[in-house]
Structure 1
Amino acid sequence: MELATRLDLMNWLVAQGLTGLPETDLIRGFCERCRAGGLDVSRALAFIDTLHPIYEGRGFRWTDTATNERETFEYISSAEGAAAKNWRRSAFHHMLQNGDDELTLDLADGAARQFPQISDLAEKGHRHCVAFVHRFGEAGTLGQMDCFYSYWLTRRAEGFREGQLAALRDLVPLLGLAIKSAQQVDIARTLGRVYLGRDASEQVLRGRISRGVTERIKAVLWFSDLRGSTRISESIGPDEIIPFLNDYAEASIEAIHEVGGDVLKLIGDGVLAIFTGDDMTVARRAALTAEHRFRLNMNALNARRSADGRPVTSAYVGLHIGEVFYGNIGSEDRLDFTVVGPAVNEVSRIASMCNSIDRELLASSEFRSGLDATGRRYLVSTGRYALRGIGRAQDLYTLDPDIAANETVAGSYERYLAS
């Protein structure tokens, strides 16, 4: 590859890394430009560890022929099981163990057979491979993201020429830097969604991080709490407490997210969420739909846990609507992007009343009154109550018992929620 071509490709990588070109486009564009410049790449794979609650990292592929392989893929922890076995048999594990930064392989050579994931590519016409491990410094490491791994193949029988290897040595680190930059943005978004909630994360990433900057919004508020969780936690082993809480948190969060709600806080076994939009009638129905899906999720979850001999429970849900302040609250060193206001206190008190009057769902009169006429018929009064810390008594409503007892009414309610 000529020096001018190499410099052009370097400039392209820097420019696209700064603009945030997606990783698959980076790999594809890089390989196509290499081939146009005389560097006969026939296949490439690059991957990098990340910070994610499920995946250990993400990889990206390119090949010079049509294929059913996905351009991008995620991989789970390589610490145990089949993933650990595959990792230990990889060229990259071999390189790390031996302190190597570069490894060249002839796919026709018996030595390549110790790395099945690479040697198998000989059947597809690839002849030679060069693999790189580019290590990050301590300051550049984020969690397990401490290396950029890549391999490059050619169909040329004689392999990469020395000038082509020199070009790859110059260019691949810049590609790694661009992909690392893209992954750091992805990590920021992932951590924001996981720890702040979807909308709160977007608000923060758009720059709304100044202390005390809030907006007044109207929102449907959800507060849910597990029934008897303290008693259950005291009766099971310490290693079972977190899986227990995780199972039921997933059941609620999945239901809320499916209908467009945002989970703002996990408070022990409690969940605080909001439903917003231009039409509060629609937001109210979304909250009822989420509550219904939460019950279905718990039914399936309880069946699985019972079959495994593990403790099960149900949950209380309170629904309310009101004006809240939404934004940054806290100190200069520790901010929380959440909602505050009397309505937030009120919805938690409504949820806590479920236990006292033996109802799994309670909704405020403000919530019910904003539903359409059909929706109001499905919520029936449980009486008038004075809530702790709330200066006024109010009527609370629950689902009509006929929904649980009568299949016709249950079907009608489900059609209402789906409409």
Structure 2
Amino acid sequence: MQDTDAHIAWILSKGRMLGLQALVDGLGPRLRDGGMDLMRFRLGMRTTHPLTTALSFVWENEGGPIVQVAAPHGLESRSAYVGSPMEHVATTRTPYRRNLTGPLTDTDHTILHELKERGATDYYGVPLDFVAASSGIMMVVSDGADGFSDDDIALLTTLSQVLSPVAEAHGNFHLATAIATSYLGPNTGQRVLDGQITRGDIETTQAAILFSDIRGWTALNAAEPPERVLEIANGYFEVMSDAVDNNGGEILKFMGDGILALFPSDGSDGGKVQACRQALSAAHAALGIARLADLPVPFGTGIHYGELLYGNVGARERIDFTVLGQSVNIAARVEAFCGRLDEPILLSDHAAQLTGMPTRHVTTEVLKGLDMPMPLHAPNFP
């Protein structure tokens, strides 16, 4: 006999403190141990993410727990979704019930045929209503001889109402994380989520700073239609993102046709060397990725190492998470010479020395804003 109050108490006390995957992994066995012939338990919800349109958290009685399933954008046009019970519940916001003990027809979705072949006898889906515009779904499958009983359906309907605010809270957290990491990067985004959102909340840190931008951007905009320019820019940003991410850095900003990336250091001698080598490796990798991707535009990359201010600046109610300081300015000035000197990568004298890797002196220039001339170096990559 199912203890409805005990299930609700578990969800609202322990279950809600777990991730949604752990919640369904815990609730599924509880319901089955209570006497429900439960074969599958699934929670699904829409999400906001550059790569993902929906998330599902699935438990199955046989084969153990299933990891979180992320559906890419374009879900609505896929055969796995069109005409499915999931589409019915998501579109109509009404429950869906299908007995699977009898014969199925061609009008029944493929997922129902597949579940029946695995021994499923009953399918029940119900919407999870959220306060926000997004929403969720709870879908359960029985493998009992008679499917779900009336008491089972009543219990599941009650639990769906309890699960709705819990799922919405987790969904909102996922949304906040997706927005913060997508627009600020994983490390900076986590700082914001941890509460570093007050203007003037700034720390001093050290890092290798990488500036990069497309050469001939103005001419490109004059020669190509906007759609083509956007396509090229996105291709370049993807090249740089892959190179920076794969070498331990983080893109802090996309700026027009360029990027600003940081390779953090703990300030020790070894940390400085590692950060500069990571930045140089990223710059070199970007050139290789661009060749493989047949990127149609050249770009330059400047690298410097130094101290900078890292945190929030702006107006009272509109702030930006950014970096400030002379080291940032120097990195930008170094990059500006790439086009003039026809060098794809340039390093400041300090960054070149820290890498400890072979470089060649290209020129000595007085950088804008600095009184002393600075030697600029290019890597001796083949």
Query: What's the TM-score bracket when you normalise by the shorter of the two chains?
Result: over 0.9
Please state which structure has a larger fraction of its residues in strand.
2
Maintained 8 Å contact 2:185/2:250: yes
Q: What residue is the counterpart of 1:356 in the other structure? A: 340
Aligned length: 377
Normalization by structure 1: what TM-score?
0.85
Equivalent-residue separation in structure 2 for 1:71 and 1:381 (angstroms): 53
Write the mapping of 1:71-82 to structure 2, written as runs, cut at 5 A.
Answer: 71-78=67-74, 81=77
Equivalent-residue separation in structure 2 for 1:281 and 1:100 (angstroms): 57
Deviations along 1:229-262, one digit per CA (max 9) or x if unpaired, are: 2222332222222221111101111111112112
Please state which structure has a larger fraction of its residues in helix.
1
Paired residue type of 1:317: T
SS at match of 1:51: coil
Q: What residue is the counterpart of 1:295 in the other structure? A: 287
Deviations along 1:207-239, one digit per CA (max 9) or x if unpaired, are: 111210111112111100111222223322222
User: What is the Cα deviation at residue 111 of structure 1?
Assistant: 6.0
Write the mapping of 1:20-419 to structure 2, written as runs, cut at 5 A.
Answer: 21-66=18-63, 70-78=66-74, 81=77, 83=78, 85-97=79-91, 99=92, 101-110=94-103, 113-137=107-131, 140-141=132-133, 146-278=134-266, 279-302=271-294, 312-372=296-356, 375=357, 378-400=358-380, 403-404=381-382
Equivalent-residue separation in structure 2 for 1:336 and 1:296 (angstroms): 32
Q: Matched residues, percent identical? A: 25
User: What is the Cα deviation at residue 96 of structure 1?
Assistant: 5.0
Structure 1 residues 253 and 128, CA gap change in structure 2 (3 angstroms): same
Equivalent-residue separation in structure 2 for 1:161 and 1:86 (angstroms): 28
SS at match of 1:114: coil
Deviations along 1:256-288, one digit per CA (max 9) or x if unpaired, are: 111211211110111101111221011111111
SS at match of 2:81: helix
Cα root mean square deviation, aligned: 2.0
Q: What residue is the counterpart of 1:6 in the other structure? A: 4
**Dislocated runs of 4+, deviation >6 Å:** none
Paired residue type of 2:364: R
Deviations along 1:108-166, one digit per CA (max 9) or x if unpaired, are: 345675222123211111111111122334xx22xxxx221122111222221111111
Paired residue type of 1:315: F
Structure 1 residues 89 and 255, CA gap change in structure 2 (3 angstroms): same
User: What is the Cα deviation at residue 95 of structure 1?
Assistant: 4.0
User: What is the Cα deviation at residue 17 of structure 1?
Assistant: 5.1
Paired residue type of 2:304: H
SS at match of 2:332: helix
Maintained 8 Å contact 1:362/1:397: yes
Paired residue type of 2:96: L
Deviations along 1:334-365, one digit per CA (max 9) or x if unpaired, are: 11111101111111111011111111111111
Maintained 8 Å contact 2:130/2:164: no
Deviations along 1:361-389, one digit per CA (max 9) or x if unpaired, are: 111111122233xx1xx211112112223
SS at match of 2:38: coil
Paired residue type of 2:56: G
Equivalent-residue separation in structure 1 for 2:153 and 2:145 (angstroms): 15
SS at match of 2:52: coil
Maintained 8 Å contact 1:92/1:133: no
SS at match of 2:141: strand
Normalization by structure 2: what TM-score?
0.93
Runs (5+) with no aligned partner, structure 1: 306-311, 405-419
